Amino acid sequence: MTITNNTQLPSLTQLPSTFLVELNNFGAISLSGEEQSKYLQGQVTCDVNNSTEKNLLVGAHCDAKGKVFSVFRLINRSAALLLLQPKASIDSSLNALKKFAVFAKVTIEEVQNLSFIALVGEQASALLQREFAQVPDTLNPVVQINSTSLVYLSGEQPRYIIMDEPAAMASLIKSFALPMFSQGVWDLLEITQGFPILPASASGHYVPQMLNLQAINGISFTKGCYLGQETVARMQYLGKNKRALFSLHTQVEHDLQEDDVIQKQLGENWRKAGDILAYYQADDGNCYLQAILTNDTDQPTMRIAAQVASVVTKQALPYTLDTSK
């Protein structure tokens, strides 16, 4: 029987070797129809023409000024293209996609009646092999078996996103018999892996390079025109972007608030350092943050403004921001 630990918020080092995560705040936009690929190709940063039933693409959906509505993982499922993403970014992206699709042979809608969970850890692959005839991997990150979609995410530890109809998902969860954590733990893993979590309040605020999309293969610079492409190209080739996404850590005594601000020390004064996109606060006071900061070589002293004793430090990302490499 599955043990649900919804009230537990472990720090990164306290997580068990293998576990499940509820993805209740996860969803997808579906594009289906004769012109689904052609239409989406002109709307997003990744090269949709490279999408197959077995691969996984990362991309962003931007407005005409190159500001990001949503960051997604793109897969094929049941002859449709699915843009997997947090529910917080779906409305703005869905509305914009529909707006320009009036004359295209494509149906665009939010996916309904699908449940999402994540399977994480060293025994994850073995558990999937027990349940399924095929398991996704680096070469084939997406596998579809009957009603189940399995998506492999590479990183410091194996992660799999599993999608299925609610009844089938309930049976699978019971079979795994693993600890189940809340959506916050997924945010923790995304933060440490440097994958952008875009809240609704940040929709339309940042160009893709400020979210490190170029560093995680989320932008094609050879695919041709798409909405916002001029801004994205200018940022890349003229070096105009001065901000980037960072993974941060601090120890706090009190709960963080939605309006908390990171400050940096400038001489004897403190100034705002950047914008917090997401955070995860463990029960033991460890706090992991994802923020947009100035992308320079300086390492200023930083803190949470409302908790003056806190010390915020940058954490290593699993990729480089150096475009010369």
Q: Which strand (E) or helix (H) includes residue 39? A: helix 36-41
pLDDT at 7: 62
Q: Is the pLDDT of residue 315 over 60?
A: yes
**Residue 42 exposed, middle or buried by CB count within 10 Å (0-12, 13-18, 19+):** middle
Region class of 239: left (phi > 0), else alpha (psi between -120 and 50), else beta = left
Over range 232-242, report the average pLDDT.
86
Task: Give percent above pLDDT 90 in the chain.
Answer: 87
| Interval 199-212: pLDDT, tens | 999 999 999 999 99
Band of residue 194 on the pLDDT scale cut at 50, 70, 90? very high
Q: In what order do the strands lie in the sheet with 57-62?
A: 57-62, 68-77, 80-86, 26-32, 107-110
- The pLDDT of residue 3: 42
When pLDDT is averaged across residues 233-252 and rounded to a whole number, the result is 90
Write the pLDDT tens digit of every residue in 116-175.
Answer: 999 999 999 999 999 999 999 999 999 999 999 999 998 888 999 999 999 999 999 999
The first and second tokens of residue 281, run together, are 């606060």
The model's pLDDT over 51-86, given as tens digits with 9 standing for 90+, comes to 999 999 999 999 999 999 999 999 999 999 999 999
pTM above 0.85, yes or no: yes
- Mean residue pLDDT of the chain comes to 93
Residue 1 pLDDT grade (very low, low, confident, very high; cuts 50, 70, 90): very low
Q: Which among 165, 138, 167, 129 has a CA at the least distance from the CA of 149?
A: 165
pLDDT computed for residue 2 by the predictor: 42
Largest CA distance in the chain: 62
State the Rg of the chain over Cα.
Answer: 20
What pLDDT is stored for residue 284 in this prediction?
A: 94
What are the backbone dihedrals phi and psi of residue 191, each rounded to the nearest 5 degrees, phi first?
A: -60, -50
What is the predicted pLDDT for the residue at 285? 94
User: What pLDDT is recorded for position 241?
Assistant: 83
The predicted-structure confidence for 259-308, as pLDDT tens digits, reads as follows: 899 999 999 999 999 899 999 999 999 999 999 999 876 778 999 999 99
Tell me the percentage of the chain whose pLDDT exceeds 70. 97
User: From CA 117, how far away is CA 124, in angstroms rounded?
Assistant: 13
**Looking at residues 23-48, what average pLDDT do you find?**
97
Given a cut of 80, whether residue 239 has pLDDT beyond it is: no
Q: Are 86 and 25 in contact (CB under 8 A)?
A: yes
Q: Report residue 216 as tokens.
A: 């995680």
| pLDDT value of position 6 | 52
DSSP secondary-structure letter at 89?
Answer: G
User: Across the chain, how many H-helices and E-strands are there?
Assistant: 6, 18
